Chains A and B, each alone.
Chain A
Amino acid sequence: MRIGVLALQGGVPEHLGHLERLGIEGRRVRRAAELEGLEGLILPGGESTAIGSLLAADGMVAALRDFSARRAVWGTCAGMILMAREVSGGRPVLSLMDIAVERNAFGRQLDSFEEPLAVDALRGDGGQPFPGVFIRAPRIARAGPSARVLAKLADGTAVAAREGRLLATAFHPELTGDLRFHAYFADLARGESP
């Protein structure tokens, strides 16, 4: 199986490293032709304004929308913003998922934090919380009806959602030593997750 990581800007090597650790072939994607032969695509964290403008410059918006209709896509942090249908304080970019997100929802860098998350959807976790790393993170202000929330902070803020084979997380599993979210996405890409 091959999974791409959109490599126009952002935390690309970290995702590729996690894919490699799972024995999955990763590929950097900078142009539409490089989507060919991929089972899934990760939209990494980075600056959503910068990535959005680079996507528009290359006519990649239509290509990614087309890809998402057939394959699995996962956006982390800025990637989640790119996927959202509504973005408060910004324009929607790909409009792939039925979620509304708020950018920089927790504040500036000094408000960045780590908090363990209970995520029922993760297989084989034995109840272990997932290490949530939130960096100038967005939040999910609304999800649904077709998208469902996968994880919340202790205060009830929604921070992960899924809609079919589309996945969005406000946090950064690629910055942790925990491979479970990447394994979960690989299952989505294989079409193996309920």
Chain B
Amino acid sequence: MDTVPGRTPRRSSSATVKTGLARMLQGGVIMDVVSAEQARIAEEAGAVAVMALERVPADIRAQGGVARMTDPQRIREILQAVSIPVMAKCRIGHFVEARILEAIGVDYVDESEVLTPADDSRHIDKHAFGVPFVCGCRDLGEALRRIAEGASMLRTKGEAGTGDIVEAVRHARAVNDGVEALRALAEDDLADYAAKMGVPVELVRQTRELGRLPVVNFAAGGIATPADAALMMQLGLDGVFVGSGIFKSADPARRARAIVLAVAHFDDPLRLAEVSTGLGEAMPGIAAGALSPAERLAGRGR
């Protein structure tokens, strides 16, 4: 927290401004891009933010090896190309990659299981940063642990780079079911619950009272069509990340626009029919159920 000398106290990087940016992204689509040109296509289509990458998850999956933070030069080009917020990914636990992304000036850091984890027992202490973080979750326990570590926004993990929505749906339902179960708990049981989940009881109490996660929670990991995006919105998610689904499809600009319209009008089936029409081929896709445990990215980080 900084103050500007000689003026009325000005506070930066407060929890309100960190979680607040994510709140302003609600009802929007965040798109993976690998170049300034793709970033401009995304902005033009109505994306609320872009995720600056070297390779989209489908390529990371196909190429194998260790996936790391993107070259800062690539991220800078994307920062300069668009006026909407720019996010970038660091490896789980890799606080130096996060510091580099913060120094470049990205608007949000995604501590992401899509990259190869740098630490298999700890996530980054995100409270220590001025830049806000988004993290993946598969259930309420993971979600609350990430918030306790300082995440200002969450997303389902899904199964990135597959184009198969089934894992994102599973994770969204698990969080919803977790909140329902928490609401049914007696006040006396909250301390045990918090201890079991490894999170502060205050956070558990807050979630129970709100009847939802206290930060914005987006869908991610397998969204390939406007209908997929609308499905996730109807399951109660606050917005959508689309990774490989746009720029691995036959007509990225058109599909990007269609997904933006589908998220804005997620409960209007006629509108969804209209935007789903004539989009050309979706990304090829891999059935998530056919992946071996080692090929699954969602199991990284608990």
- Seen from chain A, the residues whose Cβ lies within 8 Å of a Cβ on chain B are 7-14, 30, 45-47, 49-50, 53-54, 57, 77-78, 89-90, 103-104, 108-116, 133-136, 153-155, 172, 175-176
Contact = CB atoms under 8 A, between A and B. Distances in A.
A13 B25 CA distance: 12
B293 interface: no
B131 A46 contact: no
Interface in B19-38: 20-21, 23-28
Interface of B: 7-14, 16-17, 20-21, 23-28, 43, 45-49, 79, 83-85, 102, 105-108, 130-132, 260-261, 263-265, 268
Contacts of B46: 49-50, 53-54
A154 B24 contact: no
Q: In the complex, which of the residues A104, A110, A136 has the most CB atoms of chain B within 10 Å of its own CB atom? A: A110
Contacts of A133: 16-17, 20
Given A30-B264, A49-B83, A77 B24 contact: yes
Contacts of B23: 11, 14, 45, 175
Q: Is the interface of A mostly helix, strand, loop or mixed?
A: loop
Given A9-B264, A109-B108, A49 B8 contact: no
B10 A113 contact: yes
A63 B133 CA distance: 38
A50 B24 contact: no
Contacts of A8: 27, 264
B251 to A, nearest CB: 17
B21 A109 contact: yes
A50 B260 contact: yes
B28 A47 contact: yes
B10 A114 contact: yes
Given A9-B26, A10-B24, A12-B26, A114 B48 contact: no
28 contacts: A9-B263, A11-B23, A12-B26, A12-B27, A14-B23, A30-B264, A46-B24, A46-B27, A46-B28, A47-B25, A49-B43, A49-B84, A50-B28, A54-B261, A108-B105, A109-B106, A110-B13, A110-B130, A112-B17, A112-B21, A114-B14, A114-B17, A116-B9, A136-B21, A136-B24, A136-B107, A153-B8, A154-B10
A175 B20 CA distance: 7
Contacts of A115: 7-11
Nearest to A134: B17
Contacts, number: 128
Contacts of A114: 10-12, 14, 16-17
Contacts of B12: 110-114
Nearest to A104: B83
A155 B5 CA distance: 12
A135 B85 CA distance: 11
A86 B11 CA distance: 29
A46 B132 contact: no
A30 B271 CA distance: 12
Contacts of A46: 24-28, 48
Contacts of B11: 113-115
A84 to B, nearest CB: 15
Contact of A175 (B16, B131, B132): B16
A91 to B, nearest CB: 12
Shortest 5 CB-CB distances between A and B: which pairs? A109-B107, A154-B8, A112-B17, A9-B27, A47-B48
A55 to B, nearest CB: 10
Contacts of B261: 54, 57
B168 to A, nearest CB: 20
Contacts of A110: 12-13, 102, 105, 107, 130-131
Contacts of B21: 109, 112, 135-136
Contacts of A45: 23-24
B264 A135 contact: no
Contacts of B106: 109
Given A9-B26, A46-B24, A116-B8, 17 more contacts: A9-B27, A10-B24, A11-B20, A13-B26, A14-B23, A47-B85, A49-B83, A53-B260, A78-B24, A89-B83, A108-B105, A109-B106, A110-B12, A113-B11, A115-B8, A135-B24, A172-B20
